Amino acid sequence: MDMKYITPAAFFAVVYWIYAFVRPEWCNFHEQYQMFLFGWDYLAGHLSIASGMADYLAEFVVQFFFFPALGAALWAAMLTGLGLLVWRASLALSGNVDSSGLHLALALVPSVLVGFYCGDYNMMLAFPMCLVMALLMFLLYQRLASRRRVYFQIFLIPLFYWLSGYGVFVYAALCAMADARRFWRGWLPGLALLSAYAAFSVLCVVMAGYTVMRQYPFIDLFCGVNFYRDRMVVPFMQHLSAFSVVLMPALIALLGRGGKAVQVVCGALVVSAIPVLMPFSHDKFSYSLMKIDYLVRNQRWKDVISFCQVYLPDDSMAYNGLNLALAKTGQLPDRMFEFPQMGQEGLVGDFQRNAVSCVITGEAFYHLGLINQVLRVFFDSQASIVNCNRSARFTHRIAESYLVTGRYDMAAKHIRMLEKTLFYSAWAREAAGYLYHPDKVASSSRWSQIARHRVQDNMLYTVTDMSDMFLRLHHQSPDNQLALQYAMACDLLNGNLPHFMRAFPLTQPGKNQVSQYSNVPKSYQEAVMYAMVTQSGGNVDLPPFVSQEVRNSFRDFDNMMTMRQQPDKRLFSTYWRYIVSYR
C-alpha cells in the first residue's frame, strides 16, 4: 500500500469500528425511519422535487443499514470517499500540488466535520451525499478543457441544483476557483466569476420557489428538503461542513510538502478526531434510548438488562425495554426493583407525539398479544415521523398484526409495499402465502403463539390501570406467563396491593393452601409481607414462603425508616423502598 493511503485506511477502520460496535443503534435508527422502494414511481417521486436525487441515493444506501455491520462499512466508505474526493479536487485546483500524506490527512478534515455532525441523529444522509455529488460533478466538469466550458454552466448549475439542492453552492464555488485559476488570472476576475456563479445558483433556487416548488418554504429550497429530519431547522454544522469542502481543496493547493513528522502528526490527529469528538457530538440520553430500542428489536434481552445495569435513562421508553427484557427472561418478579422504576408507565408507556417514544411499547404489546394496541402504536408512530417518511419496520409490524387478526385485505396492502423493498421482501413473499388461510397462520411457528394469546373479543378498558387487562390475557391463555408477570407488576407499581393479593394465587397454579406455596419471587414476598404488616399493624403470622432473609431485611428497613435514614444499597432493591418513595 502507498504510504499516503495509510491515513484514509486508518480513518475508515476507526469510523467502521465506532458505528459497527460502539454505536450500531445509529444505523438502526436511520434504517427504521425510512422505506426505500424499488420501482419507477418511487424514483419519479424523488425526481419531482429539488435535491431529490441526493435524497434517493442516500435512502438507497441507508436501506443497507438493516445490518449495522454493513451499514457501518458503507458509512465509513462514504466519509473516507468524501475525503479522497476533496483531495482530488485540490489536485484539480493546482496541478503541481504534492500528493503527500499531509494533504490526504488535511483532505479528511471535512469528513471529520461531517462525522461530528452526524452525531445529531436528525441529520439525514442526503446532506453528505450531496457533498459527494458536488465533488464528483466538479471533477467531471474539469474534464472539459475549453475556455468556453463556462457557458455550460447555464445548463449544469440548474440541473445540478435540481439533483442535489444545497450541493450546488459547493459545486459553483469550486468551479469558479478552477475556472479563474485556469483561464482568468488574478483575484478580481476570480471574485467576479465566483459572484456570477453564486448569483446564478441563487437565481435557480428563487425560480424554483416561485414556479414548481411553491409549496416549500425557501429555507428548504436553499438548504435541502430532506437534509435534516426536523424541517425549518438548519444546524450551523451543515454550513460549516459544506464550507470546509470548498476551503480545504483551496488550502491544500497552496501548501507545500510537509516533512515525515508533520505527515504522521497530521494523520494521527485526523484519525483520532472522530473518537475524541464523539462524546461531544452524541447526546448520551437519546443514544441510550436508541441503544435499548436496537437491542429490543433484535430480541437481545440479556444485553438489554446488562446495558440498563450500567446506564438506565429516566424515561418510560427505557423502562419499557428493561421490563420487557426482564419478563421475557423470567426475571421480572425477582429483579424489577433492583432498578428505580417509574410506575405503570415503565411497563407500557403513554403515547407521545414523537417518532421514538412508543416503539418499544409497541413491541411489548406485540409480545403480550394486545394486537389492536400494536396497530394503534405503530400507526401513530409512523404518522409522527417528522419528515413524513414511511418506516419499513413499522409497516412490517402493521402487516403482521393485520395478518394475525385475520384482516387480510389490509395485510395484503402493506405486504405489497414491503415486496418492493430489499431486506423485507423475502418476509413479505412468505407472508403473502398465509393470506386468507387462517389455519396456516394458527399453525405457523412464527405467529401461532401470538394468534393464541391475542384478545379474541372486542372490549373497552382503561390504560390507567392495565392489570385486569393483563389478567384477562392470562385467563384466556394460561400459558401466557408474560401477561401474568405484567399483571402482577402493574399492581405492584401502582401500589394496588388489595388487587395484588387477590390475584397472587395465580402465580402458584395447582396449590390450594398457602403452606404449599414455594419458590415465590422476591418482590412478591416483599409485597405480601408489606400488605399483611400494614393491614394488621405489625402483629401477624407471616406465610411460610416469606424467607428469613426477607423478614430480616424488612426489620432493617423499618428501623431505617423510623430513624429517617436512606436505605442502604442492600435495601434499595426492595419493594418497600419503591412503595415508600412512590407514595
pLDDT at res. 21 = 94
566: which 3 cell numbers? 436512606
In 10 A of CB 332, how many CB atoms?
23
Between CA 435 and CA 290 the distance in angstroms is 33
Between CA 89 and CA 216 the distance in angstroms is 33
Between CA 577 and CA 561 the distance in angstroms is 10
* Residue where the block lists cell 438489554: 304
Q: Where are the domains of the chain?
A: 3-282, 286-453, 466-582
pLDDT at res. 386 = 83
pLDDT at res. 543 = 87
| Helix or strand run (H / E) with residue 46 | helix 40-47
Which long-range contacts (C-beta less than 8 Å, at least 24 apart) are formed by 174-178?
174/89, 174/93, 174/134, 174/135, 174/138, 174/246, 174/249, 175/138, 175/141, 177/93, 177/249, 177/250, 178/92, 178/93, 178/138, 178/141, 178/142
Which long-range contacts (C-beta less than 8 Å, at least 24 apart) are formed by 548-551?
550/522, 550/525, 550/526
pLDDT at res. 98 = 57
CATH number corresponding to 286-453:
1.25.40
Q: List the beta bridge partners of residue 481.
A: none
pLDDT at res. 208 = 92
Regions of the chain with pLDDT less than 70: 1-3, 95-101, 186, 256-259, 351-357, 458-464, 537-539, 583
Integer angstrom CA distances of residue 265 from 51, 70, 86, 305, 476: 38, 30, 20, 41, 68
Between CA 446 and CA 431 the distance in angstroms is 10
pLDDT at res. 538 = 63
Q: Strand, helix or coil at 267? A: helix
pLDDT at res. 462 = 65
44: which 3 cell numbers? 419519479
Between CA 204 and CA 195 the distance in angstroms is 14
DSSP assignment of 486-525 equals HHHHHHHHHT-HHHHHHHGGGGSTT--SGGG--S--HHHH
Q: List the beta bridge partners of residue 372.
A: none
